[in-house]
Structure 1
Amino acid sequence: MKPTHFSMSFTSMISQRRFLPSISSLLALEAVSRLGSASAAAKDLSLTQSAVSHQLKQLEAQMGVRLIARDKMKLTLTPAGQEFVQEARLLLERLSQASIKLRANPAGGSLNLSILPAFGLHWLAPRLKDFNHHHPNVSINLQTHKLPFSFDNSSSHAAIHYGKRDWPDVNYLELLPNHVIPVCAPGSMKHPVKTAKGLLAHPLLHLETHPDSWEQWFGHIQHPVSGLKGSLFDQSSTMAQAAVHGLGVALLPTFVAQEEVESGRLVLAFECPPVALGMYYLVWPKAHVQYSPLKHFRDWLEAQRPEQSS
């Protein structure tokens, strides 16, 4: 009988187990790398100095590579040790995160979701209570990201993406367009702006990740401009607060601006319909297509999309 790919991979993994170091030896190496001595590492790990030294010697013997350069006053890592501890630290962090998630949700079913800050705070977060109600056994672990983002360096099962379908090797679920409106603090303009061109006489606030949003907006309303300057902000929420305090005109997503306009902290700087500059998507690697918590989340999100709202 021909062996399957799984059985061959598993056999290969078992045969390499002799190269797998113990967690305690990796912790000892990481602590020495960070603190510079066996005594400091021992204190950090609540071990004796001899126990730390034993773990290091055992690790070197197992690897067959000199990892520690020893002198009378300090321990330093060899180049091979430095390279090895970088990989070990990443694995220890991932294992620690997995342990925390397991304790938080012992029934299983965690979904690691990477979100854009403004979208997560103003659109997604208010709706998550409904998801929790329908799927109480699935824990959503949120972490924010700014563009650009890559699944290669993340533990996320899925992410919120804004812009176009320009990510390779991912699946897309279209969520909603990014409708934006120009807003400013009440009284920050001496005279009402009657035309879009009139906005150019006022400070325009810009988002670092999409510095050409104003140019796109002016293009959509048939008044093309270029080379616009102004203050830069790393998040829409921060830019909104700058506008509230009269620093300029902000081009904000409607889901960010709505609460501020309804409270009277912001007003429309120019009367015009919202303009769609891009699309928000849920994206996920093809390897996670069958992951059950993600499938539940995708199905729930589809019902939250504006075109399907009642």
Structure 2
Amino acid sequence: MNNIAHLNAVRAFEASARHLSFSLAANELNVTPAAIGQQVRLLEEWLGVSLFIRASSGTSRLTLTAQAKMALPEISLGLEHISQGLALLQKPIINNAITVSVSPAFAAKWLLMHIDDFQFNHPDYDLRLNTNSRSVNYFAEDIDIGVRYGKGNWPGLSQTLLMDEDIFPVCSPDLIKQGLALPTDLADYPLLHDHSMPVSSGFPTWASWLAVQGIDNVNTNKGLKINNSASVIQAAVAGQGVALGRSVLVKDDLACGRLVKPFPALDSSTELAYYIVWRPEHDTLAKVQAFKVWLLETVEAQAVNNN
């Protein structure tokens, strides 16, 4: 007896056992009572046990054997699970997962501080964050949407500006108490260098920033070099030196006083900014558009609150 025959025989037994009648089971399964009886006998032969106590002539009512009565609930439950599984196979899969790519620093210092708002307002979407520090391939790694920092020139990807950024020195309030007052005083304090961006990106270095400010008495080779912007900020908070702060990433640390701007008049704009990027084939995909709109609205709301 093959597996399909097993299943047919089990169905015939289960229906007969529930109704205690081959005729009623036949009506349920759209076959003849004789076919039901044959399937039950085949199952009994295969199992080597009797499933029913056949009534004497004159009545069609069946009686379950003790073994059959004990096994019936499990068999009924098993057939129900099979039916549910088959229904799932026929149900179209709706993929509401959104794979979002951001840098570790942007995730730690901005996105994760706001992401609960998106999840609250879009409970049907399942967010998956890719916080790889390298520039990921959206197509090969199946990224839906993300935020990139740069000049906005990523061939093959759709993009829109999210936020501009300014660059300025930041440090712990403790360094101000120690006497850091003028830009020329930087010669006496350790510098923190952000090496998370390649030189070709145009990201300001201490050497380039000081040159723009006309300050030439500082040794820009000294200090701690770190390849993660969030870690640079944390080192500054800990009082380990002065960092070139990125306005988007240091906003909350400045607001709560963990960091200060020692030279508030010396802001420097940069060509680099934050862009929302996504695969062009997702231009009209609802989940991608929902996340893009949420990012833009969140930044707009922040700008209004700051004003």
Matched, 1:192 2:185: no
Letter in 1 for 2:299: R
CA distance in 1, matches of 2:263, 2:303: 28
In structure 2, what is the equivalent of residue 228 of structure 1?
Answer: 220
Matches within 5 A, 1:24-173: 108-173=95-160
CA distance in 2, matches of 1:140, 1:225: 48
In structure 1, what is the equivalent of residue 259 of structure 2?
Answer: 266
Q: Is the deviation greater in 115-124 or in 220-229?
A: 220-229
1:168 match: secondary structure: coil
For residues 31-87 of structure 1, the C-alpha deviation after alignment (integer angstroms, 9 at most, x for no partner) is xxxxxxxxxxxxxxxxxxxxxxxxxxxxxxxxxxxxxxxxxxxxxxxxxxxxxxxxx
Matched, 1:304 2:295: no
Letter in 2 for 1:116: S
Contact 2:190 2:240 in 1 (8 A): yes
Percent identical: 26
1:188 match: secondary structure: helix
Distance 1:157 1:225, change over 3 A: farther
CA distance in 2, matches of 1:135, 1:158: 16
- TM-score for the superposition, normalised by structure 2: 0.58
2:196 match: secondary structure: coil
CA distance in 2, matches of 1:151, 1:164: 18
2:251 match: secondary structure: helix
Contact 2:147 2:277 in 1 (8 A): yes
Contact 1:171 1:286 in 2 (8 A): yes
- TM-score for the superposition, normalised by structure 1: 0.57
Distance 1:266 1:150, change over 3 A: same
Tell me by how many angstroms 1:224 deviates.
8.2
In structure 2, what is the equivalent of residue 176 of structure 1?
Answer: 163
Tell me by how many angstroms 1:180 deviates.
2.9
Tell me by how many angstroms 1:220 deviates.
5.1
CA distance in 2, matches of 1:222, 1:306: 35
Provide structure 1 residue ranges, at least 5 long, that are not aligned to the other structure.
1-105
Tell me by how many angstroms 1:216 deviates.
4.4
Matches within 5 A, 1:8-23: none
Distance 1:264 1:133, change over 3 A: closer
Q: How many residue pairs end up in the alignment?
A: 204
Provide structure 2 residue ranges, at least 5 long, that are not aligned to the other structure.
1-92
For residues 270-290 of structure 1, the C-alpha deviation after alignment (integer angstroms, 9 at most, x for no partner) is 232543322001111213223
Distance 1:232 1:107, change over 3 A: same
CA distance in 2, matches of 1:264, 1:300: 28
Distance 1:226 1:265, change over 3 A: closer
CA distance in 2, matches of 1:145, 1:279: 19
Distance 1:155 1:256, change over 3 A: same
Distance 1:110 1:243, change over 3 A: same
CA distance in 2, matches of 1:187, 1:257: 17
Tell me by how many angstroms 1:242 deviates.
1.4
In structure 1, what is the equivalent of residue 51 of structure 2?
Answer: none
1:133 match: secondary structure: helix
Letter in 2 for 1:228: T
Tell me by how many angstroms 1:238 deviates.
1.1
Q: Is the deviation greater in 175-184 or in 143-152?
A: 143-152
Tell me by how many angstroms 1:293 deviates.
0.6
Distance 1:144 1:225, change over 3 A: farther
CA distance in 2, matches of 1:257, 1:308: 14
CA distance in 1, matches of 2:130, 2:258: 29
Distance 1:143 1:271, change over 3 A: same
For residues 134-184 of structure 1, the C-alpha deviation after alignment (integer angstroms, 9 at most, x for no partner) is 322112211102233322442211221001122111111211112233112
Letter in 2 for 1:217: W
CA distance in 2, matches of 1:164, 1:175: 12
CA distance in 2, matches of 1:156, 1:209: 21
Tell me by how many angstroms 1:262 deviates.
4.0
Tell me by how many angstroms 1:250 deviates.
1.0
Letter in 1 for 2:174: G
> Which has the greater radius of gyration?
2
Q: Pick one of 223, 226, 238 that aligns with 2:231.
A: 238
Distance 1:306 1:200, change over 3 A: farther
Contact 1:205 1:231 in 2 (8 A): yes
